[in-house]
A and B are shown apart, each in its own frame.
Chain A
Amino acid sequence: MGLINLLIKHKYGNYGLLTYVELELVLSVGMVLSYNTFYPTTRTISDYAQQFTFNFILSVITLILVVLVIKNIAFGTGQDFFDGTIITFLQMKGRKKVFLSLYVTDVIIPGVIFILTTMTTFYLASFNVSLTWIPGYLSIYLFLSSASYIVTILTKRPFRAFFISIVILLLFVGVDFSQNFMLIYCYLTMMILSIILLIASYYLFRGVSI
C-alpha cells in the first residue's frame, strides 16, 4: 500500500484524483442526458434499438475516458522510463510489485471511480439499465489500456508511445463503428485478449533494460 500511495502522489499530486472523480461524474451525467435526447419519454431500456443507442453512447464515453488513461500511461509511466525515475521504485520493491502498482494507479483506479460514479448517477436519476454495461465498458477500457502499456514498454519514449496508442485507438474506433467485426461485441473475447495483453506486458516489463 505504501508504494501505491507514493505513486498516486507522484502521478496525480494531492488533488489530481479529485479532478478524475468530478470529470467522470459529469461524463456519467452526459450519458443520461444524451440518452434522453434520443428517447425523451423513457429512462428504461426495453428493446433492441434502445440498447444499441445506449451501447453507442457508452462506447463514445469510454473512448473519451481511455484517452485520459492513455495520457496517464504514456506521459506518466513513459516519462518515468525515459528519465530513469522508475529505478527509484525498482529499488524499493521487486519488479512484480512495481508493475502491479503502476497498473493499479494508472488504469484500475480511474476505471473503478468511473463505475462507482456512474452507478451513483444511474441510481439517483432512476435510469434503469441492466448491469451488463460494466463488462461492455471494461472490455474496451482494459483492452486499449493494456495495448498502450505494451507500446509504452516497447518504445520507452513518452510522445512516441502516446502517438502510437492514439493510432491504435483510432483503428479500434474504425473497427468498432463499422460493425464488420462481430468480435468486438463479444465481451468475453475482448476480456481474454486484454488479460493476455496484460500478461505479455508484465513479461516485457520484467525483461526490459533501463
Chain B
Amino acid sequence: MRLGIILISVGILILVLGEISFPLHTSLTVTHNFTSPPWFTSGEIYVNNGTFTVYSDYLVENLTKGQSICLNNFTLIGKGNATVTFSGFKIFYTRNYITFSEIVIILGVVLEILRIIRLRLIR
C-alpha cells in the first residue's frame, strides 16, 4: 500500500474536478427578489412580464418584458415573472480546493521521496 501515490492522485483529481464546469442546465422561474447561486458560472435571464432591476459586478440595468441578458453573478430585484436558465455547474466554487489539493499533492510527493530514500538506504 503506497500512501504517497494515493494522496497525489486524490489531489490531482480534486484539482481537475474543481477546474472543469459540468454541463448541467437548469431553469427556474423567478417572481420576486433573487440572488444567483455562486456554483453556476453563467445564467441567462429572460423577462416574461413585469420589470426587474439587475445588479451585477459593475452593471445596473433595468429589464422590461421581452428583454434578456446573460451574466455570471447577479441579483434580481423587482416584481413580475422571469425565467433564469443556468449553465456551467461547478462542484467547488470557493478557492479552498486549490489550497487543499496543493497540500495533499505536496504531502504525497514528500512521502514518495521518503520511500525512495528509505529503499536506497536499505540497499
Contact = CB atoms under 8 A, between A and B. Distances in A.
**Secondary structure at chain A's binding surface: helix, strand, loop or mixed?**
helix
A124 B37 contact: no
B6 to A, nearest CB: 5
Contact of A33 (B9, B13, B22, B93): B22
B37 A32 contact: no
Contact of A43 (B5, B14, B39): B39
A91 interface: no
B1 interface: yes
A129 interface: no
Given A40-B37, A40-B86, A124 B6 contact: no
Contact-size category for A: 20 to 34
B39 A124 contact: no
Contacts of A8: 1
A36 interface: yes
B24 interface: yes
B10 A29 contact: no
B26 interface: yes
B5 A25 contact: no
A125 B93 CA distance: 7
A116 to B, nearest CB: 10
Nearest to A13: B1
Contact of A22 (B1, B10, B96): B10
Contact of B91 (A17, A22, A33): A33
Interface of B: 1-2, 5-6, 9-10, 13-14, 17-18, 22, 24, 26, 28, 37, 39-40, 86, 89, 91-94, 96-97, 100
6 contacts: A17-B1, A25-B10, A33-B22, A37-B24, A40-B28, A120-B14
